[in-house]
Copies of this chain bind each other. A is one copy, B any other.
Amino acid sequence: MERNVYIQNTPLDQAIDIFMGQLEKRGYFQIETETIDVLGSINRILGSAASARRSSPHYPASAMDGIAVKALDTFGANESNPVILDKNQYIEVDTGEYVPRSFDAVIMIEDVNFQGEQVEIIKPAVPWQHIRSVGEDLVAMDMIAPSSTKIGPYELASFLTAAISEVEVVKKPVVAIIPTGTELLDQGSEDMNPGEIVESNSRMLIAMCQEWGAEALRHDIVIDDRIRLREAVEEVKDQADMIVICSGSSAGREDYTSSIIRESGELLVHGIATKPGKPAILGLIDDKPVIGVPGYPISAQLVFTLFARPIIYKKLGLPFPSDSVIECKVSRKVASSMGVDEFIYVNTARIKNNYIAYPLNRGAGITTSLVKADGVMHIERGNEGLEAGSRCSVMLRKPRALVDQTLVSIGSHDISIDFLADILQVQHNKRLISTNVGSMGGIMSLMKNECHFAGVHLLDTDSGDYNISYLKKYLNKTPWLLLTLVNREQGLIVKKGNPFNIKEINDLPGPEIRYINRQKGSGTRVLLDYLLDKNSIKPSTINGYSREEYTHLAVAAAVKNDTADCALGIYASAKALNLDFIPISEERYDLCILPDLLDEQDINLLMQVISSTIFKKRVIDFGGYNILNTGQVIYSNNI
């Protein structure tokens, strides 16, 4: 058995210095160019300054539709004494046409009175009027664009005009990507076996390469076999300017990447002090960079961005693009170890005059954090993390305009919030981001002015009403209004056919039924605790009471996938995953809106969309909802 526990924990800046320094030393960044047809040059980078091969116009050209004349022949013309020109004294010219040497002015068509073959002129022409002189646009040898210019539509037009048919451009660096792993599949399906994974990292890295201006070559998936991986490296190394080996960079049994680099070239770094991204490998084969990219998507994305991106830009002769940075308040405490550079993916939005950064789920396996992230917070080595509310810099990955048109919902989770987001996006170009922290978490967020509204479904166990008593208690200093989004069914979610024959809360206690709970502060948890109390059931008798998930779909998925047998949740989740559902009660799911934090037009927009037929139809079609109260304002505290 072969195991390599990494020896190193190289600090990020050192790892970059070692890697770039070695490449520099070996002359890797020498710019290579090639000459290509100008028609295929869009988005390529000029390898040398492009200069006009020919002037434009390359002949005296008419700037108008009209007639070319000798100015001298028209002198003295006026309305009472028009000048008549014979057919040999003028020629008709259209815009852009050649004005022969015997003429020195053009009269526009609107000022010409045709009379058979003669023309009548009532205003003299000034010499050279309406004639574009040779080289007016470009003179032969003029520099049109300096080296390193990215060729766009206008450069192309100008090159063609200047008779440039070929251009010298920088060669695109070729990145060979080798996905490794016996568990990997090229295509996914709904009935994959446990342990099988769709290979997605190489596809992501290819698209990133293309974004940065490099070309990517994907090798077929290589199973975990030292000889096969070595063959794959041999196959690609001559065609590529960079070799990327996906996965296989951790300390697992099948991690051959580092030893192959050591044998075929030089291993520079194994293990960097970043989070995520720790198991990265950096090396050289034939003086070309080799990067071993960890298997978790976020680690892969980060390692590739940190190490491949600067190499590609440098190899293209381009300056490293400066990230757009905004100053934010971080919405919650972010822990960080002193010894590592941490990268935290965040959503960002503007709440009145503050930009807030909302850290996303930090698990390295969470592709949804990659999709959602508007930017990245970098906590440098030597720092101890951030307290909630403290200032931080976010490197934006999405346009600032998008951040500025974002509505933020923090609180309880409901699928209807996704429907709302979709409609707002498509019909009104408004982005709605939502974070699921449960109803109480939503109220806390409202108290800190960190969201525009919160989804809440908190049962007042004394009155049987929902939400209002909680909001009155916690939000007593700020105006708020409460709007019903949906009414929905809560019940017990169990496997198809209900194998344990669960019928009510009283069936839950005991070791054989594995329950999966929602987190504290969620409305569903309040409901469960209320029901347990009402039925005099001790939480400790429920197997799994302490195992918490954050969404309705997550608990349903646990039941579906047999890591649990029962959960309390909404009908919609049970239906989505084709599970059985035992109704327990109907509850009201409201939005609590802070009018001080929203423009009036955004509040109106929100109400309009919630009351729209299209929203209601999507909710009803999904099932488990009742829309009788949807869009009704339940309460406003009138402060």
Give the B-binding residues of A (Cβ under 8 A).
3, 5, 39, 42, 49, 53-61, 63, 65, 92, 94-98, 101, 109-110, 128, 132-149, 152-158, 160-165, 183, 187-190, 192, 194-195, 197-201, 203-208, 210-211, 250-254, 295-297, 301, 317, 319, 322, 363, 365-368, 370-371, 373, 401, 415, 418, 421-422, 425-426, 429, 547, 549, 551, 553-554, 556-558, 560-563, 576-577
Contacts and interface: CB of A to CB of B under 8 A. Distances in A.
A363 B563 contact: no
Given A198-B160, A207-B152, A562 B101 contact: yes
B365 A63 contact: yes
Contact of A128 (B92, B132, B163, B547): B547
Contacts of A39: 203
Q: State the 8 A-B residue pairs at the shortest beta-carbon distance, nearest first.
A: A163-B188, A59-B194, A135-B557, A153-B207, A160-B200, A319-B429, A94-B252, A134-B561
Contacts of A134: 557-558, 560-561, 563
Contacts of A426: 146-148, 317
9 contacts: A94-B252, A97-B183, A98-B194, A98-B195, A134-B558, A134-B561, A139-B557, A140-B576, A141-B576
B53 A190 contact: yes
A351 B301 CA distance: 39
Contacts of A3: 109
A215 B339 CA distance: 50
A163 B192 contact: yes
A94 B161 contact: no
Contact of A57 (B97, B160, B365): B365
B418 A49 contact: yes
A322 B5 contact: no
Contacts of A560: 55, 134, 140
Contacts of A370: 154, 157-158
A368 B158 contact: yes
A205 B53 CA distance: 23
Contact of A577 (B141, B363, B425): B141
Contacts of A210: 42
Contacts of A365: 57, 63, 132, 136-137
B194 A139 contact: no
A94, A95, A137, A418 pick with most chain B CB within 10 angstroms? A94
Nearest to A429: B319
**Interface centre among A59, A183, A297, A368, by most B CB within 10 Å?**
A368
B139 A368 contact: no
B54 A190 contact: yes
Contact of A55 (B97, B144, B160, B557): B557
Given A187-B165, A297-B161, A563-B60, A197 B133 contact: no
A147 B195 CA distance: 31
B144 A363 contact: no
Contacts of A295: 95-96
Contacts of A137: 363, 365-368
Contacts of A206: 153
A563 B60 CA distance: 8
B135 A558 contact: yes
Contacts of A188: 53-54, 160-165
A429 to B, nearest CB: 4
Nearest to A147: B426
A415 B141 CA distance: 10
A146 B371 CA distance: 11
A252 B208 CA distance: 49
A132 B361 CA distance: 13
Contacts of A164: 188
B94 A254 contact: yes
A85 B156 CA distance: 70
A82 to B, nearest CB: 20
A201 B157 contact: yes
Contact of A251 (B65, B101, B158, B165): B65
A288 B386 CA distance: 56
A428 B229 CA distance: 41
Nearest to A165: B187
A371 B558 contact: no
A319 B138 CA distance: 37
Contacts of A201: 157
Contacts of A561: 55, 58-60, 134-135
Nearest to A164: B188
A577 to B, nearest CB: 6
A37 to B, nearest CB: 10
A42 B547 CA distance: 39
A144 B368 contact: yes
B140 A577 contact: yes
Contacts of A94: 250, 252-254
A190 B204 contact: no
A425 B554 contact: no
A157 B367 contact: yes
A148 B425 contact: yes
Contacts of A101: 562-563
A519 B368 CA distance: 63
A91 to B, nearest CB: 12
A296 B95 CA distance: 9
A574 to B, nearest CB: 11
A139 B553 contact: yes
A366 B52 CA distance: 13
Contacts of A551: 139
A343 to B, nearest CB: 14
A382 B427 CA distance: 34
Nearest to A431: B146
A5 B161 contact: no
